[in-house]
Structure 1
Amino acid sequence: MKLIRLWFGLAIAISSSVLASTSATDDGLVRVKSTHDVSMTADKLAGLLESKGMTIFTRVKHSDSAKKVGVELRPTELIIFGNPKVGSPLMACSQSVAIDLPQKALIMEDDQGEVWLVYNSPSYLAARHHIEGCDKVLSKVEGALANFAKGATQ
């Protein structure tokens, strides 16, 4: 298990150094800086996901909902998406990972006006749910999420 976590941690660190606009932190989140506003980043991500056969379950525009109750919130949108071809094998490895599936991508503007696409690191999910023996599935998820994030933010 430690070797799996170390391998995924190393993969994220390498990815982070290659993409200067990407950061992975101890909180299990991968953050990718976008060159677009929140709406455009979310639209690009949704288009990419759909083009790859992913199901978009919902788009939650948190800032719009906050406005309805008198709360000012910087642009913030959550896209919940998945594909049973990928999620089901992961759940077969550790059924508790279902609490974190389908996948989520948060697109938000920070207090500096920068836009970020944020998602859960697969290595974080592997550690959280004690997933062992599913390196191929985890690697596939990690690569797909990184590609979706890059495509939506560039």
Structure 2
Amino acid sequence: MYHPFNNSVWVIFFFCNIIAQVISHSDSVAEMDSIEPQAGVSVADDYGPYACKGMENNSGGGSGPRPFKVVCRNKKENASMTCNFNGNPHPCSTYNKNQAKFYKQLLDKVGGFVQNNKQCGPPTMEAKICPDIMYKIVR
């Protein structure tokens, strides 16, 4: 026998399911967006259970500071952390000629630190190709 209540429950269930899928999709997109570079050089590598991606933000242009954002995702625990650093690499002529190598060396330091300490760091770091240029963690 048809009862109007049965039909209403089904409609509510259907719409709740659609809303849950939309929310789940938007969370996934937001997580991916947080890993995408804002502008500039992007480097990535794995460090033990962590997949790390580093991005230079050159949205300010010119020869000023270049924030460096690193997102490391623990592939086993499905958790991630974001580490932000700031420094000005422009006084180093080697940086100007090989920016990807510079940021890869910084990423290697962050990735190694995250793998060993399970937290953002180190507090300060430099790339081998520009040992006089210090990047500091932004807390």
Q: TM-score range by the shorter chain?
A: under 0.3
Question: Using CA pairs below 8 Å that are at least 6 residues apart, which structure has the higher relative contact order?
Answer: 1
Find the structure with the greater CA-based Rg: 2
- Structure with greater helix percent: 1
- Structure with greater strand percent: 2
TM-score between the two structures when normalised by the length of structure 1 = 0.25
TM-score between the two structures when normalised by the length of structure 2 = 0.27
